Amino acid sequence: MKTMKFAGVFGAVLVLLAMSAPTQAAFVLVTQGSISTPTNVIAADGWSEATPKDPTHPGFMVSWDIEKEWNGTKWIYSYEYKLSDKNGNSLSKALSHWILEVSNSPLTPFTIANIWDLERNGSTLAFTSGDPQTYSTSGGSGDQPNMPASIFGLKFAGVAGAPVYTFLSDRRPMWGDFYAKDGSEGGQVKIWATAWNSGLQFPGDPNSAFIPVPDTGFDPDPPVVPEPGTLVIWGLGGLCAAGAAALRRRKVKQARWSEETRNAIFAVVHARSE
């Protein structure tokens, strides 16, 4: 009977070891959300809200999903942004380009080396030469028409539809700004469709909105979630306590495993957790 009881406990330990075996690291959610017209995004022309004059305007929305993964040394952040109308569908006017702010701290400046694997709709996208750099308004025309304030950031080429942009960075998110502009309309008279977060135009307003953007700082702190080996030891401790209590209740002469048995189990656990 003693052998059968021990075999049951040891079998449970082996199951716990198998469940706690090292697996491929996975990204964990940092933040996700969206802002849209008319309150949090200021937009003009085809990206503005519907009006009695033009009830077809579907508005503008930028949404994000940011996750992180520990690579053994520091956190790597996965950034995803989608630019669409406020219902998540294609923009009413094709996107020419948009600008995403990054931090411009003189102590730890953000460089192009801090971002990689840039994609648009799943295909590799080239970085703009010279980025990150300061982008300013071009007045009533040009590359950044009606831009309310300058942005130090990254400029991404646009495309029709509701494009999704993804990239990896070793810089954690902070709150920042964006600016977007539509593309050409053939031979039509140009009326710029533009959009930006309200915080770009009214940074001091407590109700202004921002989006998460890459900071200059990175997070070197390791995960606080116990490693698989630690989970095994915790689980083993619980099994040992439960087993000992059961044995005491049954007044078994030997209420503890022998030193040789405990050392053998610890050797298996220690080898598995390394």
Q: What is the pLDDT of residues 107-153, one digit of tens each?
A: 888 999 999 999 999 999 999 999 999 999 977 667 899 899 999 99
More confident residue, 61 or 233: 61
Contact 233, 242 (CB under 8 A): no
The arithmetic mean of pLDDT across residues 156-185, rounded, is 92
Q: Which of 35-39, 71-75, 221-225, 252-256 has the highest mean pLDDT?
A: 35-39
Find the radius of gyration of the CA atoms of the chain.
28
Q: Is the pLDDT of residue 203 over 60?
A: yes
| 262, pLDDT greater than 70 | no
Pick 271 or 224 by higher pLDDT. Answer: 224
Mean pLDDT of 5-23: 42
- Using a 10 angstrom Cβ sphere, with 0-12 exposed, 13-18 middle and 19 or more buried, the burial of residue 74 is middle
Per-residue pLDDT at 202: 96
The string of pLDDT tens digits covering residues 27-65 is 678 899 999 999 999 998 889 887 777 777 789 999 999
Task: Report the chain's mean pLDDT, rounded to a whole number.
Answer: 78
Is residue 82 pLDDT above 50, yes or no?
A: yes
Rounded mean pLDDT, 154-167:
97
pLDDT at 182 over 70: yes
pTM: 0.71
Maximum alpha-carbon separation in the chain = 96
In this predicted structure, what is the pLDDT of residue 11? 47
pLDDT at 247: 46
Q: If you average pLDDT over residues 66-82, what whole number do you get? A: 94
**Cα separation, 118 vs 155, whole angstroms:** 12
Lookup: tokens for 219: 């997070």
Q: Where are the beta strands (DSSP E) in 114-193?
A: 115-120, 123-124, 133-135, 151-157, 164-169, 173-176, 178-182
State the distance between the two ends of the chain, measured CA to CA, in whole angstroms: 34
What's the pLDDT band for 6 if we cut at 50, 70, 90? very low
Given a cut of 90, whether residue 216 has pLDDT beyond it is no
Q: Are 149 and 200 in contact (CB under 8 A)?
A: yes
